[in-house]
Amino acid sequence: MDHELFSEERSAEVVAASFASAPPRLRELLTSLVTHLHAFVKETGLTAQEWEQGIAFLTAAGHKCDDVRQEFILLSDVLGVSMLVETINHRTAGGSTESTVTGPFHVVASPSRALGDSISLDGKGEPCLVTGQVTGPDGEPVPGASVDVWQASADGFYDVQQPGIQPERNLRGLFTVDADGRFWFNTIVPRYYPIPDDGPVGGMLHAAGRHPFRPAHVHFIVTAPGHQTVTTHLFVAGSPYIDSDAVFGVKESLVRSFPLVNDPARAAEHGLPNPFRTVHFDVRLLRAQDAPAPAGD
């Protein structure tokens, strides 16, 4: 017989050997997956009923996915896998803005907007001016960079969660920075919110005694030719759940205060009512040639 038969003791080795002809990286991934998965089953003494419940859970997660809902990303998020992958693949040694998860709501393209435009199409919420600058690792401006932003409403919902209630593409915008790498736009202060918890992932959190909430934040994806893309958040200091984000996305360097400004002239300049909130968020990018090689290379 050319190969060893399956046994409890050597189950992982036998299955891993079946991938011997796979391409090297695929073989590495599948071998490691099988090794850890079989160890989990053995260490926990997984019962047949628990295995069936696990299969049913994954099946339900698949059924919950649609064009605006990705239950498997939610599952990855709440297990901390999304943040771990993001962290491993964007090791910057302090050279650029820290990254965090994309989240499950970047499911539609942000509309192109001019600098200074408002992304709040219904005007509901506390007005806020966001300013910042995109620079390279040495602080040099990066003209032409694109800044893609999206956020939840003052009620804690994204536009795709409230069709017919929020305007389409509300609180989303794609901006091109000026010659000095600067950007500015009007919005409203976002609210903390629960990740969608009406599906199997929410059921798992409830069963485990965990809450589904994320602290208030604005999403950013910043891209520029010749530079490594950064996917990150701007978190509202003092927001509920800032210390217990359901998806483990908070990093101290990404938390900012949103002070109240009483300045009628500045409010008029930016087309805002007075007083208004403001926040400044600079984004530093690594040059492409300086970016660490992706994990697995």
- pLDDT (0 to 100) of residue 102: 86
User: What domain range includes position 244?
Assistant: 75-290
Q: Does residue 142 share a domain with residue 225?
A: yes
Q: Does residue 246 share a domain with residue 99?
A: yes
Q: Does residue 107 share a domain with residue 173?
A: yes
* 112 in a structural domain: yes
Bridging pattern class, strands 217-223 and 146-151: antiparallel
Q: Does residue 115 share a domain with residue 14?
A: no
* 68 in a structural domain: no
Domain count, the chain: 2
- pLDDT (0 to 100) of residue 208: 97
- pLDDT (0 to 100) of residue 68: 76
Q: Does residue 261 share a domain with residue 207?
A: yes
Q: Does residue 38 share a domain with residue 117?
A: no
Q: Does residue 165 share a domain with residue 88?
A: yes
Cβ neighbors of 58 (< 8 A, separation 6 or more) are none
* 196 in a structural domain: yes
Write the DSSP string, the chain.
--SPPP-STTHHHHHHHTTTTS-HHHHHHHHHHHHHHHHHHHHHT--HHHHHHHHHHHHHHHHH-BTTB-HHHHHHHHTTHHHHHHHHHT--TTSSPPP----TT--SPPPB--TT-BS-SS--S-EEEEEEEEE-TTS-B-TT-EEEEEE--TTS--GGGSBTTBPTTTTEEEEE--TTSEEEEEEE----EEPP-SSHHHHHHHHHT---EE--EEEEEEE-TTB--EEEEEEETT-TTTTS-TT----GGGEE---EE--HHHHHHTT--SSEEEEE--EE--BGGGSPPPTT-
* 253 in a structural domain: yes
pLDDT values of the chain reduced to their tens digit, one per residue, 297 residues: 456 899 999 999 999 999 999 999 999 999 999 999 999 999 999 999 999 999 999 999 999 998 878 899 999 999 999 999 988 887 766 678 999 988 778 878 899 999 999 999 999 999 999 999 999 999 999 999 999 999 999 999 999 889 999 999 999 999 999 999 999 999 999 999 999 899 999 999 999 999 999 999 999 999 999 999 999 999 999 999 999 999 999 999 999 999 999 999 999 999 999 999 999 999 999 998 875 655 555
Q: Does residue 272 share a domain with residue 192?
A: yes
* 70 in a structural domain: no
Q: Does residue 269 share a domain with residue 173?
A: yes
- pLDDT (0 to 100) of residue 157: 93
* 32 in a structural domain: yes
What single-letter amino acid sits at 254?
L
What single-letter amino acid sits at 128?
C
Q: Does residue 159 share a domain with residue 214?
A: yes
* 207 in a structural domain: yes
Q: Does residue 193 share a domain with residue 144?
A: yes
* 57 in a structural domain: no
| Number of other residues whose CB lies within 10 A of the CB of residue 89 | 14
- pLDDT (0 to 100) of residue 1: 47
Q: Is the whole model's pTM more than 0.75, yes or no?
A: yes
Q: Does residue 135 share a domain with residue 202?
A: yes
